[in-house]
Structure 1
Amino acid sequence: MFSPAAVVASCGGFVLIGALQALYGPAIPAFREEFALTPSAAGLGLSAHFVGGVAGVLLFDRLYGRLGNRQILGASYLLMAVGAAGFALAPNWPTALTAALSAGLGFGGIDYGLNQLFAVGFGPRSTAMLNILNAHFGVGAILGPALIGAVGSEHYPAVFLGFALANLPLLLCLKGVRDRAPQPAGSRAPGGTGALGRSLGSVLALFVALYVLHVGIEAGVGGWEPTHLETLGYGAGVAATATSVYWLMMTVGRFLVAPIALRFSAQAIITVSCAGMTVCLLLAAVPALAPYAYAGVGLFIAPIFPTGLPWLHRAAPSARRAGSLVIAASMVGGVAAGPALGKAIEAAGIRAVPLLLCGISALCLVATLWLIRGTRVR
């Protein structure tokens, strides 16, 4: 599916989409001042990006197989570049939101397109390659805010413009991508999946549940860890550093699991990940252990998203739209996690954050065990 140069360029593309998603937050103070926005209005920038992302996944899934892979990815890079440049140069807030929506469309196309092609394009190495690809998303998510911090949020237009220009060289590497993807393997595949033991609909529903729940945990820890740690008595600086370590461990975990994925099945990796995540969230309720336990959550949650996709393609080879369904669901999970968890915290208190997330993690483990049973070859 990919030449070596195209693999490197694809990883670079994931660095860029990780950076783009992470650039909006640190830039909020500057564009709040520039456009005289309330906090809720400023938050619409990231919301527009995610709405565009979901639409991009669904749109480009409709085009997948009808147009060549190079056309889809090229259009996605161009949309993201135009949207980022438009956001940087927007004369007013409605124009900026339109540009963020455009950038999100490209973001969704790249996220879906590359995940889909890596899931089917490397054979037994697909799980390892997907973990490496998604680890580069984490690299971008770390570098983006660091860049805004280095130049100052008031210079966010220059950062977004630089980001837009960085997309363009990747277009030159698309000739190394095969224009048509191979069909997923049939009824036999490494790891014991293939012929479905239960109905296709129930298996897809369990995959969607797993993705929605684990992305909700990912967003929940990222959003509420600083507040929880400060409630436990840690200083603001320690809480912020611990949250950065959580995101760093998520990136490191994906790099570490790549060689492991060559020896162990996706089912085994995700089962261990969900169990480890559940234990770490339980330990995060202990004040002395909380910062270290959250780092452990980052390490264990890391492989779930990229490792589940090859398993999904082997379990449901006839469901062409399965990949787009779970990727779109994961984005919806990230959007819904904030208000849903916020309501639960209002009722239970800040100290209950890790226990609430632990309950969700336990549901992830249950969904995984059901999936193992439901996708076992008869």
Structure 2
Amino acid sequence: MKDLIRTHAALLFAGVATFVMMGAGQALLGPALPVYVLDFRLGEGEGGLFVSLFWVGCFLGVGLMYFNGGVIGPRHALAAMGVGAGGMAVGGSWGLTLVATVVFGLGYGMATAVFNPRVMRAFGRHGPSMLSLLNATFGVGAIAAPLAFVWLGSDPRWAFGLVAAVVAGIWVFAGPAGRAGSAPQGEVKAFRPHWAILAFGAVAIGMEASLAGLGPSALIRAGVEEARASELLSAFFVVFLLARVALIFVAHRVQPFFLFTLSVSSAAVFALGAVFVSPSVFFVAMGASTGVFFPGFYVTASGKMGEDIRVPPTIVASGLVGAIGVPLILAPLVAGMGDRGFFWVVAGILLTLTAAALLSWRRMRV
């Protein structure tokens, strides 16, 4: 394992640093949204557009990887992330902010489809655990970003400007990552999408996007102060990170769809806790479940669909379908449902997803 880490140190550094900033950028969407709503005098439905367009950009980035994955590398993804974050830092108008959000999402989607399969391939049988490590570092940025946002006076311009500067620094040092792990080794099976697992991923990642992007607004609606909501989002990502760190030690030993089923069922229980007990406490608890959504889904889908170069973008794209659509639907839907309406809807969706996962258990084993 140490030899593998030394051999692929450049890839691992570039991936870890990029995922930290991906986590920071995504986590800033939630705290920034209430500020934009006030500054640009938006309705809640329009605020949901901000979150969804980020995921539209991600979808476009994954689409580029599907058609040109052989030529797109880490620096392409970082360049788009840096330009997008810089555009959000400039601000000036709601239209410019939305365009910049799409561009940042473009780089985010490319980075997801660049680094996840490369790390899986480069580390062989340890690939699932290293994938968990890579995605765990996403939580580091997601934890720090809401706290930094408050420290910077709850000003999206300063927060996204800092993201742009750090991404530019990573770009400078990302060249040696090169094409490590960029292509599958050995025989590749025919490309066959597995629609059932892709559907599970679409719903789960849609819920993850909604919790991160709309969660702070839901907490504020439930009576939590704005600064406190940002702190709770940071705590959400602390337990998100801890869950992914734990996966490093178990992911290669446990059936990935078991992990997926456990994560969505526990998230459903925590959502009910947010409805009936405490939105603050159980919103944070849902971070642990949410942290397992993507690794459980990605490894299951990879096992079902094989090593064709189009498989990773397809897997990521299915999640992005949910990440684009679910917040766009939920934001206006829950606006008139009372102070805990958001958590009622989340609980209902997750309970349905849990039932479907249990019914599909045998077919999803890999």
Q: Structure 1-normalised TM-score? A: 0.78
Q: Aligned-pair distance for 1:296? A: 3.1
One-letter code of the match for 2:61?
Answer: G
The one-character-per-residue Cα deviations of 1:242-297 (angstroms, maximum 9, x if unpaired) are 4543332112211122112133221232232233223333344432x654443332
Structure 2 vs 1, CA of residues 217 and 29 (structure 1 numbering), >3 Å: closer, same or farther?
A: closer
Q: Aligned-pair distance for 1:107? A: 1.7
Alignment of 1:208-219 (within 5 A): 208-219=198-209
Q: Aligned-pair distance for 1:15? A: 1.0
Counterpart residue number, 2:131:
130
The one-character-per-residue Cα deviations of 1:66-110 (angstroms, maximum 9, x if unpaired) are x2xxx4221111122223334434665544443333222212111
CA root-mean-square deviation: 3.7
Structure 2 vs 1, CA of residues 177 and 307 (structure 1 numbering), >3 Å: closer, same or farther?
A: farther
1:299 pairs with 2:304: no
Q: Aligned-pair distance for 1:131? A: 1.8
Distance 1:371 1:185 in 2: 31
CA contact (8 A) 2:136 2:241 kept: yes
Counterpart residue number, 1:114:
115
Counterpart residue number, 1:248:
238
Deviating more after overlay: 339-348 vs 118-127: 339-348
Task: From 11, 14, 18, give the equivalent of 2:19.
Answer: 14
One-letter code of the match for 1:299?
Answer: A
SS of the residue corresponding to residue 183 of structure 1 reads coil
The one-character-per-residue Cα deviations of 1:160-197 (angstroms, maximum 9, x if unpaired) are 3432232234332332444453527879xxxxxx99xx
Distance 2:217 2:162 in 1: 30
1:337 pairs with 2:326: yes
Distance 1:229 1:135 in 2: 27
CA contact (8 A) 1:185 1:317 kept: no
CA contact (8 A) 2:27 2:145 kept: yes
Q: Aligned-pair distance for 1:152? A: 2.3
1:323 pairs with 2:312: yes
Distance 2:55 2:290 in 1: 21
Distance 2:139 2:263 in 1: 18
CA contact (8 A) 1:84 1:164 kept: yes
Alignment of 1:178-217 (within 5 A): 178-179=179-180, 181-183=182-184, 200-201=192-193, 204-217=194-207
Structure 2 vs 1, CA of residues 306 and 185 (structure 1 numbering), >3 Å: closer, same or farther?
A: farther
Counterpart residue number, 1:23:
28
Q: Aligned-pair distance for 1:321? A: 2.9
SS of the residue corresponding to residue 263 of structure 1 reads coil
Structure 2 vs 1, CA of residues 24 and 220 (structure 1 numbering), >3 Å: closer, same or farther?
A: closer
One-letter code of the match for 1:137?
Answer: F
One-letter code of the match for 1:115?
Answer: N
Distance 1:59 1:72 in 2: 11
CA contact (8 A) 1:52 1:103 kept: yes
Q: Aligned-pair distance for 1:128? A: 1.6
Task: From 359, 362, 366, give the equivalent of 1:373.
Answer: 362
Distance 2:219 2:187 in 1: 47
CA contact (8 A) 2:264 2:353 kept: yes
Alignment of 1:46-61 (within 5 A): 46-61=51-66
One-letter code of the match for 1:210?
Answer: F
Counterpart residue number, 1:165:
165
Q: Aligned-pair distance for 1:157? A: 3.9
CA contact (8 A) 2:8 2:122 kept: no
- How many residue pairs align between the two structures? 357
Identity %: 25
Distance 2:240 2:106 in 1: 25
Distance 2:356 2:311 in 1: 17
Q: Aligned-pair distance for 1:328? A: 2.3
SS of the residue corresponding to residue 73 of structure 2 reads helix
CA contact (8 A) 1:120 1:310 kept: no
Structure 2 vs 1, CA of residues 46 and 347 (structure 1 numbering), >3 Å: closer, same or farther?
A: closer
One-letter code of the match for 2:321?
Answer: V
Distance 1:98 1:294 in 2: 30
Counterpart residue number, 2:346:
357
Deviating more after overlay: 295-304 vs 318-327: 318-327
1:278 pairs with 2:268: yes
Q: Aligned-pair distance for 1:121? A: 3.0
Task: From 259, 265, 270, give the equivalent of 2:255.
Answer: 265
Listed as ranges, the gaps of 5+ residues in structure 2 are: none
Deviating more after overlay: 55-64 vs 311-320: 311-320
One-letter code of the match for 1:12?
Answer: A
Distance 2:58 2:326 in 1: 16
The one-character-per-residue Cα deviations of 1:311-366 (angstroms, maximum 9, x if unpaired) are 21121116643332332232332332234335654686554544432332233334
Structure 2 vs 1, CA of residues 225 and 148 (structure 1 numbering), >3 Å: closer, same or farther?
A: closer
Counterpart residue number, 1:191:
none
Counterpart residue number, 2:68:
63
One-letter code of the match for 1:51?
Answer: V
